[in-house]
Structure 1
C-alpha cells in the first residue's frame, strides 16, 4: 500500500512525505493506524499536528465511527477528512452510468466478453494469433505505422469496478482489438467445446456487431479519454484546490463541446 501524507507542523510550515508501506498483515483500521503512525514517527512528525486526511471511500478508511479517519480524528480534532478527489470523480461516473440503462448494459456485455475470452489460455492464444494476422494485413495495406513500439500485442483488459478510470484502458483495448475479438468469437461458435460455450459466444457476437454496442464503445472512449485526464490530474501530488477546480472546469467545457459538436464526427467514423 502506498500513501502520500501531508502535515503542517506547529510553526505552520508545510512538510510533505511519501511513504511506501509494505507487508501489511491486513487492512483493518487498527493495523493501518499502527503502520501509518510508525511511518509518521520515523519522519519525526507528530499526529497531534495533523491538519487533514484524504482517503478513498472504503469503509475501513472513511467510516464515521470506526474508520481510519475517525480514529485519527480522536487523536487530533483538526485532522478533518476529505474524500480523495479522484475517487469522488469515479463515484460520480459510476452513479451516472448506473442511471443510463444502455450504458449499464454495454458494460455488462463488455465484461462478459472479456471474461469469456480470458477464461481460457487457448482462447487467449487465438486472440494473439488473430491480432498477428490483423496487424500484418493492416500494415500491408498501409493503415498501420511500422515505427518502433507500434503494433504491440495487447491483452483484452478486464473491467475493474473499484478503479473506474482504468476502464478507459479496457475500452481502448476493445477498440484496438475489435476485429480480433470478432474472429475469436466466430471460431468459438464453430468449434466451441459445448453448446453453452457456442451459445454464449453466438449471443456476444450478435451484441458486438450491433450498432448500439459499436456506437457506445466509441462514444465512451471519447468521454472517458477526457475524464481519464482529469482523474490523473486530480492525483498529482502538487495539486491544490484551486488547480483542481480549474481542471474540473476545463473538463466540463471539453465535455460540453463534445456534446454539441462531437456526434457528427463520431457518426462519420
Structure 2
C-alpha cells in the first residue's frame, strides 16, 4: 500500500485523477478474490496502471464489492471526487444498471464512466454477427466435449495439410468476458470452415451436431462470422492501444479516431458486397 501510494506522489497533484480496474476470480481453495488496479495520469498526462492487491470478498453482490473498493480508495486517500472511470466485466454484479458496482459508484460520482467492452457492444449491435458468434461458441463447446468430433476435425485438417497439424486449441468455447481473445478463434473457423462442415456432417446422427450443421450451411452464418472477424481484429488493435502503458492522451484519441474512420469508411455497398460474395462462395 505504501509503495503504491508513493507512486502517486510523482504527480503534480496528489491525489491524482484515477480510474478503477478490477476483476474477480476464485483461488485454489475456492475463495473469491478481487483483483484491484488503478489507472492514473502523471503531470505529463501519461497513463499508468498500478496493481494494488488481491482482496478476499465474502459476497459477490454489487453492494459488497463496491464497499470493498470504496475501502481501498479511503485507505489510499483517493477522494471519490477524482474518480473518473470504471472498468469491470459484464457480470450482473459488476455491470448491473441498478445493483451493480458501476451503478453504486455512478450514483455518487457521475463522472466515473463505466466501460466494459467496445468489441462486445459493437458485435452485439448486429443480430447477424451476434448469432454467428453464438454458433461459434456452440461449435467450440461441441469440440471440447466430444473426442469423436475433435478427432474427426483433426483428421480432415491433416488430410488437407498433408501431415500433422498439431492441436486445435484455438477452436474452443468463446470466452464470455475476454472478447479481445476471440479474434484468433474466429479466424480459425473461417480458415477451416469446409472441414468443420464435413465434421458436422460426419456427426449429424447426434442432435447437437445436426443442429449446428443446418445453421452452418446457411450463407448468413458465414457472413456473420466474416463480419465479426473484420470488426474484432480491428477493435483488438484499438484495445491493445488503449491498454498501452506508454500511450499519451492525444495518442489514444488519435487511435480511436483512426479506427472509427476506418470502420466508417467500410460502411458502403462495395465493402458489403465483397464480404457477401465470400460468404456465398464458402457456404
Structure 2 length normalisation: TM-score? 0.63
1:50, 1:78 within 8 Å by CA — same for their partners in 2?
yes
Equivalenced residues, count = 240
- What CA distance in whole angstroms lies between the structure 2 residues aligned with 1:97 and 1:156? 23
Matches within 5 A, 1:1-269: 1=23, 2-6=35-39, 17-29=50-62, 31-33=64-66, 35-36=68-69, 39=72, 45-48=76-79, 51-52=82-83, 53-56=85-88, 60-61=93-94, 68=101, 80-84=111-115, 87-88=117-118, 90-94=120-124, 96-98=125-127, 102-120=128-146, 122-123=147-148, 126-135=149-158, 137-139=160-162, 152-189=167-204, 192=205, 197=206, 199-237=207-245, 239=247, 241-260=249-268, 262-263=271-272, 266=275, 267=277
The structure richer in strand per residue is 2
- What CA distance in whole angstroms lies between the structure 2 residues aligned with 1:238 and 1:7? 12
CA, structure 1 residues 65+47, in 2 after alignment: closer, same or farther (shift >3 Å)?
A: farther
1:55, 1:61 within 8 Å by CA — same for their partners in 2?
no
**Secondary structure, in 3 states, of the residue corresponding to 1:236?**
coil
2:183, 2:229 within 8 Å by CA — same for their partners in 1?
yes
Structure 1 length normalisation: TM-score? 0.65
CA, structure 1 residues 38+17, in 2 after alignment: closer, same or farther (shift >3 Å)?
A: farther
The structure richer in helix per residue is 1
Could you list the runs of 5+ residues in structure 2 that have no partner in the other structure?
Answer: 1-22, 24-34
1:156, 1:173 within 8 Å by CA — same for their partners in 2?
yes
2:93, 2:100 within 8 Å by CA — same for their partners in 1?
yes
**Secondary structure, in 3 states, of the residue corresponding to 1:19?**
strand
2:38, 2:50 within 8 Å by CA — same for their partners in 1?
yes
- What CA distance in whole angstroms lies between the structure 2 residues aligned with 1:244 and 1:25? 37
What is the RMSD computed on CA atoms of the aligned residues?
A: 4.1
Could you list the runs of 5+ residues in structure 1 that have no partner in the other structure?
Answer: 141-145
